[in-house]
Structure 1
Amino acid sequence: MLKGQMGASGALVKMADGPSGGNAVLVYFSCADCAVEAARAASAGGHLIREKMSIGPYGFIALIRDTEGNMIGLHSMQ
C-alpha cells in the first residue's frame, strides 16, 4: 500500500517457539510512535508486555495486553 492511501496492509512473521492455532495471531496497529500509544494503553488499564523495540529498517514495535486480555501489537516508523 502506498503512503496516504486508504486500506490495510499486513505481513506474516514466524516467531521462534511461537504457538500455533488458537490465539496465535497477533494484530498490529500503525501509529506515529508506538511508545506513546503503549503508554496510553497502560494508563487506560491495559498492560505493557514489551516496550518499544527496534525491528531494524522496518521501524519499531511494542506489545500490549488490553483490558480483556488480548495481546495487540503497535508499529511505528519512529
Structure 2
Amino acid sequence: MQKVYAPNGSDVSAGTYECADCGYEYSNQSKKSLPPCPQHLDSLHVENGWKILSGQGDATDDPYPKSGK
C-alpha cells in the first residue's frame, strides 16, 4: 500500500507533494528531511505534513513515527 501522507521531516523520494493544510504544491528531488510548508507562517497549519501527489513518499525505514495516514 502506497502512503498518501508524509509528515514534515520525513525521508522522501523525488516527487510532487501538496501541503495538507493549505494546498501549496512542492516538487523535490530525494530529501533526507521534508521541509515544513513555506507558507506555514502565513496561515494556520495543524497537519504539518504533505499529501503525496507523485513519488514514493515516506521511506519504509523512515526514523520518524508512523502517522497512521
TM-score, structure 1 normalization: 0.21
Which has more helix, going by share of residues?
Answer: 1
Query: Which has the bigger relative contact order, CA under 8 A and spacing at least 6?
Result: 2
TM-score, structure 2 normalization: 0.23
Higher gyration radius (CA)? 1
